[in-house]
Chains A and B, each alone.
Chain A
Amino acid sequence: MDSYIDIKVRVWRQAGPKAQGHFETYELKHIFQGASFLEMMDILNEQLIAEHKDPIAFDHDCREGICGMCSMYVNGHPHGPDSAITTCQLHMRKFHDGETITVEPWRSRAFPVIKDLMVDRQAYDKIMQAGGFVSVNTGGVPDANAIPIPKPVADEAMDAASCIGCGACAAACKNGSAMLFVAAKVSQLNLLPQGKAEKHQRAKAMLQKMDELGFGNCTNTGACAAECPKQVSLTHIARLNRDFIGAKFCD
């Protein structure tokens, strides 16, 4: 049964991108365990505002696990200790009375802190712009079912497409690599006939952009897949490797 708990929240506070950050600990009393983690953060912010203090800046949007906006490193895990969920789907019943919860921003060179727990994740958008699309001519839209796609292939492409680009993979990676994200975004298109036509070009362009933006080299530790809120599999990384190496041998 959910009950009420008293907790301490140790939060990373950083005034701006260039400012020196530090941890600040806040006490919260009487938090309902049925509350979501972000609701707890809202309660904390209201408390801070009532005390005339600067509220904690954090990213959030849909609060139903599909937008990829929330991004906190809670007790050593991106999106908290629960598996296969985003921070907004994390609930206070995962924590116990008297616990000190440490909340940090994503830490990766390619994701600089903007303020407090907010980081700049435009690097992922830039990777998408480099090749995460299918080039089509203007004109009438063909019927989607005109191209037969085997169910297992469609399923795998859909699994890859479930990536919401939240950045947990790069945040969890000891090498600061964005391979799982890039692999998912390459796979969701390269698996399907419409995207296959440009698969070599896409793999090269998106990987080149990833390297250029300062992400690290993948060493297959698997931390990304273990922490991914959408459980994107490491096998997509193998496909990206295959498509990229294939593209280079075709050059």
Chain B
Amino acid sequence: MNHLDPARHVRGESQYLDDIPVQHGTLYAAVVESPVAHGQLLGLDVSAALQQPGVVRIITAQDIPGENQIGGIVPDEPLLAEGHVHFRGQPVALVLAESEHAAQAALPHVRLDIAPLPVTVDPRAAAAQGELIVPPRTFRLGDSGAAWAGCAHVFEGVAESGGQEHLYIETQGAYAFPTEMGGVRIVSSTQGPTAVQRHTARVLGVGMHQVEVDVTRLGGGFGGKEDQATPWGALAGLGALVTRRPVKLVLDRMADMRMTGKRHPYSSDFKIGLDENLKIVAYEATFFQNAGAAADLSPAVLERTLFHATNTYFIPNVTATAYSCRTNLPPNTAFRGFGGPQGMFVIESAIACAAERLGLSASEIQRRNLLREGDLLPYRQPTEGCHAEQAWDTAAALYNLPALRREVEEFNQAHKLVKKGLAVMPICFGISFTKTAMNQARALVHIYTDGSVGVSTGAVEMGQGVNTKMAQVAAQTLGISVSRVKVESTNTTRVANTSPSAASATADLNGKATELACRALRERLLRLAATELKLEYEGLHIENEQVLAAGKPAGSTWEKLVSAAYWQRISLSENAHYATPDLHFDAETNQGYPFAYHVYGTALTTVRVDCLRGTYEVEAVRIAHDFGQSLNPAIDRGQIEGGAVQGIGWMTLEELVYNEEGRLLSNSLNSYKIPDLYSAPKVLDVHFLDTPGHPRAIMRSKAVGEPPLMYGIGTYFALRDAVRAFRPDAPLPFSAPMTPEKVLLNLYPDAPTTPTAWTSPAQLNYVTTSVDS
């Protein structure tokens, strides 16, 4: 079955935030932001801006009736700056005007008096100054310190991975309406409606029941709208409360890029020890996470880096320590993978480092150390239903890894200025919110008297197809056609206290809740059928909208049954709650059972580098992936393809550039490049591994959102392989993304870099045009 939404998407009929018909009297908001990355806010003068045509009101921190605080994990983030500014783009005030043009035009007339303070953009420098968001965390298994002596080979190094702009094509936004009870109703483009509700209530000084948040769908999220949709929702809500008029706030692209946080850049140290059989004996890593100016989700992202510090490998002695470092960048935040990719990049760098120094292929080390059933991960959860070796071996056999390697070698021998590279990237990703309490969800299911069904959950549809999966779960559980099921908008008044749509767990959590609600309804209806048809309840089913007794039509249909239930005054609504069983984790000892299950897979990546120009193409990414029993192969394949290409983008083109003053230079789509049609791999094969799935996965269909992003890491190492084919002695630092610039500079490390170093046949005068000469 296909994703249900696209039939509307392709006709342009799906409604996103900016498509909502504008209510009469709406004010348009524009955000006044800090022009410096760190400073003391001495004065804020809005008088001139208030005189601009169309300007109705300018809101500052002083106008906040409740608390000026939107920090989720740590209360360290004001909605509007007071006293100090901590990053460039930090909201300072909100202009409300009769039109978007008027609001934007007034921005330059707001005068900010800021005394600059020193700016830190480097996480290691921040750590050295003690600027940590939370105390450092260490995950420990065995005793790495004692293990080095027993290692045949020990290697150390540094690995750095860059940030990543989410680049959801729909920018952040919210549309708030005052309600008659003194609260607000907010339509928000958020992955976390409850976060918007909770923080807006706090800012407005009202109960959460006075703030309704509604989400129909997002034009992409990827983690960027998990916590960072909140400021815009709260600002719009504040504007609506203060003016008693609807307020619409939609960020333009460059404002969105300037003001919102991104994937965390990391700088990390690693040390790896192997025995003579290439078994990894010990691993130590120290991660310096660039958290930006406030906590946001950084502590949780940091934790997941540690959870995935050893990727798919069993290592008996591990010490992994992580520092969340406060810098003067916008607060960095969730992004597909949530710190996991950053952790995996480091262990893969360590393995590549060892392999290169030992003169081996990295896969020699990777394959020998894959997780097996019952192996302990560094947080002491054993693997259960481990498919690491199955994924690797299936990919290697199906795609003929030895032949691929041979082809690369032969090609490289035959070509001087073009080289190919190959890398294998196995993954293991834990599914659940690592904050155990968040692994709960509710579903509200109504059956209407005509037999149609409305399902409300906490899941937010952002392209991942969760609504289609919810509809499938409801339809399959009730035994009816999916066309009878409508998945409603995500609304805090229908389903309360939701976890954000994140951690790949949305379909599992909300799907399980939907399944429970539908089962309860089904049981209720079948008990009625048993009474009415004078049949045994056991053995009754609904299939294809027919009531069956022991598999045979029992003379009733879905519609009849529903109608009868109404007239018998039997409830046709059900609200169910699901909490993932068995989970626990102790954040003091860093041990426990945090994940419902793990997802496995392996990608083989081949690239081709133009060694004259330093440009490259990803020729093929061939994946074997553990979906379990996929509920929707079309949607799941799309998640793998899209995730892999997003990961390739992170590892290749997507380069965030901040200057020393904390100003984002890659601040628009013309200077920050995500993959286009031609930068996607020419071949992208996805093989569905034959795996049983997991009972904690919805209908044994495993979570699929985040894991594929990490296949992209293989592209980095394949490029490295190709560069080394041209330049075996290249002293390549482990530094992602591998932009064409890095490729070329590594291909020609000895190239002269200053004009004086170039030998010249004649002295020249610099001439620009003949007009001058």
Do the two chains bind? no
List A residues at the B interface (Cβ < 8 Å): none
List B residues at the A interface (Cβ < 8 Å): none
